Amino acid sequence: MSAWRRLLRDRSAMLGLAIIVALLLVAVFARPLANFPQDVTAYHPPNRLLPPGGRFWFGTDRMGGDIYSRLLFGARITILIAVVATSVSVLIGVAVGLVAGYYNNRVSDLLMRVSDVFLAVPQIVLAIAIAQTLGPAIQNVILALSVTYWPFWARLVYAETRSLRNEVFIEAAVALGASPLRVMALHVLPSIASSVIVRTTIGMGGTILVAAALGFLGLGPPPPSPEWGRMIAESRAFLPQAWWYAAAPGMAILLVVMGFNLLGDGLRDVLDPRLRRGGDAA
Partner 1 sequence: MSSTAPILELRDVHTQFAIRNAWGRQVGWLRAVDGVSLSVARGEILGVVGESGCGKTTLGKTIAGIHRAGSGRIWFEANEIGALTAGEGRALRRNLQYCYQDPGASLDPHWKIGRALEEPLVIHTSMPRAERRARVGEVLAAVGLPEGHLDLYPHEISGGQQRRIGLARILMLRPSLVVLDEPTSGLDVSVQATVLRLFLELRERFDLTYLFISHDLGVVRLVSQRIAVMYLGKVMECGDTAQVFAAPAHPYTQSLLAAVPVVGGRRVTETFLLEGEPPSPGALPSGCRFRTRCPLAAARCVAEEPALRVLADGRQAACHFAAS
Using the minimum distance from each CB to partner 1, give the nearer residue, 135 or 177. Answer: 177
What's the closest the beta carbon of residue 198 comes to partner 1, in angstroms? 16
Using the minimum distance from each CB to partner 1, give the nearer residue, 22 or 178. Answer: 178
Local structure of residue 53 (DSSP, 8 states): B
Among 124, 271, 122, 282, residue whose Cα is nearest residue 200: 271
Q: Which of 2, 5, 166, 176 lies at the binding interface for partner 1 (CB under 8 A)?
A: 176
**Contact region for partner 1 (CB under 8 A) — 46-54, 105-113, 178-186, 215-223?**
178-186
- The count of chain residues that interact with partner 1, using the rule CB under 8 A, is 19
Using the minimum distance from each CB to partner 1, give the nearer residue, 182 or 236. Answer: 182
What's the closest the beta carbon of residue 109 comes to partner 1, in angstroms? 11
Does residue 273 interact with partner 1 by CB under 8 A? no
Residue 220: CB partners within 8 Å, gap ≥ 6? 131, 136, 138, 141, 211, 214, 227, 229, 230
Using the minimum distance from each CB to partner 1, give the nearer residue, 25 or 193. Answer: 193
CA–CA distance, 230 with 208 (Å, rounded to integer): 13
Q: Which helix (H) or strand (E) element contains residue 241?
A: none
**Contact region for partner 1 (CB under 8 A) — 90-98, 165-173, 228-236, 238-246?**
165-173
Does residue 278 interact with partner 1 by CB under 8 A? yes
Q: Which of 171, 181, 185, 254 lies at the binding interface for partner 1 (CB under 8 A)?
A: 171
Does residue 177 interact with partner 1 by CB under 8 A? yes
Could you count the other beta carbons within 10 Å of the beta carbon of residue 18?
Answer: 13
Q: Which of residues 182-241 bind partner 1 (CB under 8 A)?
A: 182, 187, 190-191
What's the closest the beta carbon of residue 103 comes to partner 1, in angstroms? 12
Using the minimum distance from each CB to partner 1, give the nearer residue, 177 or 240. Answer: 177
Does residue 282 interact with partner 1 by CB under 8 A? yes
Does residue 279 interact with partner 1 by CB under 8 A? yes
Does residue 178 interact with partner 1 by CB under 8 A? yes
Using the minimum distance from each CB to partner 1, give the nearer residue, 133 or 166. Answer: 166
What's the closest the beta carbon of residue 269 comes to partner 1, in angstroms? 20
CA–CA distance, 160 with 188 (Å, rounded to integer): 9
Residue 281: CB partners within 8 Å, gap ≥ 6? none
Among 68, 74, 73, residue whose Cα is nearest residue 50: 68
One-letter amino acid for residue 204 of the chain: M
CA–CA distance, 243 with 232 (Å, rounded to integer): 10
CA–CA distance, 102 with 184 (Å, rounded to integer): 7
> What does 176-235 look like in DSSP terms, one character per residue?
HT--HHHIIIIIIHHHHHHHHHHHHHHHHHHHHHHHHHHHHTT-SSPTT---HHHHHHHH
**Contact region for partner 1 (CB under 8 A) — 18-26, 55-63, 81-89, 168-176?**
168-176
Instruction: Give the sign of the dihedral formed by CA 134, CA 136, CA 141, CA 144.
Output: positive
CA dihedral 189, 194, 196, 200 (to 10 degrees): 140
Does residue 172 interact with partner 1 by CB under 8 A? yes
Site for partner 1, rule CB under 8 A: 168-169, 171-179, 182, 187, 190-191, 278-280, 282
